[in-house]
Structure 1
């Protein structure tokens, strides 16, 4: 149990660790912003298609996978109607985000719940290496997610310390969900493939709806394209390295 608890804790803490670099970012150009967002998008796409979706298929069938992916995307789509939408506005002095926009934070928090349940239940299961593969996939994509949440909050004029704290809270929620999934493994294990697919769908929705469009339109599309590929390959490389 101690080892599993440590894995769950480290997996959740990567969100907070990923948010820490915002303390050192004072000003950011359009080119750098587009590159960072594209790199993050690449990591999230790789985590979804190379980690979460194969893990879900390993446990279930194509129907469950499709249901989970579409459910994750549809729920985030509905979320836009209830939470003010994040639209990044640009001017010559930098990047501004409307202060009322919290869709990204809510979206990350929402999809961290099935992620946590999946990590906990996978670790408690007897499926060989499933727990480590799921935890690794979640942990590696939590870092850029934490950075993304904190960066958006900073550009909403939120204090940097508060931005990191809020990003870290999304990780705490994932840790709590992991404990629940571990404790209720007999019930939660049935939900693991749905949770993995849901998390993949939620991430792919964010990437295609928010991140990729934001990286185009400022004249740095080529930079963003290669940054996306680097992020994609980085995530695949890390997963292969730790397998």
Structure 2
């Protein structure tokens, strides 16, 4: 057992639900770190941000398969995992169409709503984006496979850093206030990952038969976010080449983590 595994077991007493909660806190802190970067790096280039989000997409894409879909198939077979993938994608699609929100580049989506301020529409968009990530980490810990869960937590956490920075910068570009407030927007939008990580860990821990469905659900939700939101966002400003290289780098980093961490 590695040092990180020993630390998690010592802090949580081996309780998968507490491990899920701690995992959610870790990835949220890494998102917070990314959001705080805007305080010292006021204006990173759009090309860098698109490449960074491409990197995040590559990590999420690979993690969906190596840490969720394939383990789900091993635990429960193709059909439960595939059902979970479909349900996860449909759930995010439903949220995308029903919940009013606004992206910095893609603009307004969801049901018509004039009462919500622009800042809240933006925060809701990022919150929807972060939900599958927190759920995935929680499901990973709830499965009882600590090495795989830690690997997934690390991967989601790493890609949360450029995401947190991109959120803060996008908040500035959308005219949502000064650097400190934009940073706060980035931090606040990532907080949803903590309760969802806890929910995911609790759900699969008390009902192990739903594990392959839950793994598929988290993967399907992440795949939807990648294809429907991240990739279009990174290809709207003429930096698709850099975003593509970022995606390839993200895939390689996640594959390395998968092999190096066993």
Q: Calculate the TM-score normalised by the size of structure 1.
A: 0.75
Shifted more, 165-174 versus 27-36: the winner is 165-174
Give the match for residue 83 of structure 1. 100
Q: CA deviation at 1:77?
A: 1.6
In the aligned structure 1, how far is the partner of 2:172 from the partner of 2:73? 38
**Does residue 136 of structure 2 align to residue 115 of structure 1?**
yes
Q: Is the 8 A contact 1:150 1:166 kept in 2?
A: yes
Deviation per CA, 1:217-236: give whole Å up to 9, x if none. 54433322222111211222
How many positions carry a matched residue from both structures?
A: 233
Shifted more, 160-169 versus 50-59: the winner is 160-169
Q: 2:84 aligns with which of 62, 68, 93?
A: 68
In the aligned structure 2, how far is the partner of 1:77 from the partner of 1:40? 20
In the aligned structure 2, how far is the partner of 1:149 from the partner of 1:205? 19
In the aligned structure 2, how far is the partner of 1:150 from the partner of 1:188? 38
Q: 1:105 aligns with which of 126, 131, 144?
A: 126
Q: Calculate the TM-score normalised by the size of structure 2.
A: 0.71
Q: CA deviation at 1:88?
A: 0.6
SS of structure 2 residue aligned to 1:108: helix
Please give the root-mean-square deviation of Cα atoms over the aligned residues, in Å: 3.3
Give the match for residue 29 of structure 1. 45
Deviation per CA, 1:94-123: give whole Å up to 9, x if none. xxxx6544453231343255335414423x
Q: CA deviation at 1:22?
A: 2.6
Structure 1 residues 70 and 161 mapped into 2: Cα distance closer, same or farther (>3 Å)?
Answer: farther
Structure 1, unpaired ranges of 5+:
91-97
SS of structure 2 residue aligned to 1:237: helix
Shifted more, 224-233 versus 48-57: the winner is 48-57
Structure 1 residues 49 and 109 mapped into 2: Cα distance closer, same or farther (>3 Å)?
Answer: same
Q: Is the 8 A contact 1:70 1:198 kept in 2?
A: yes
Structure 1 residues 180 and 13 mapped into 2: Cα distance closer, same or farther (>3 Å)?
Answer: same
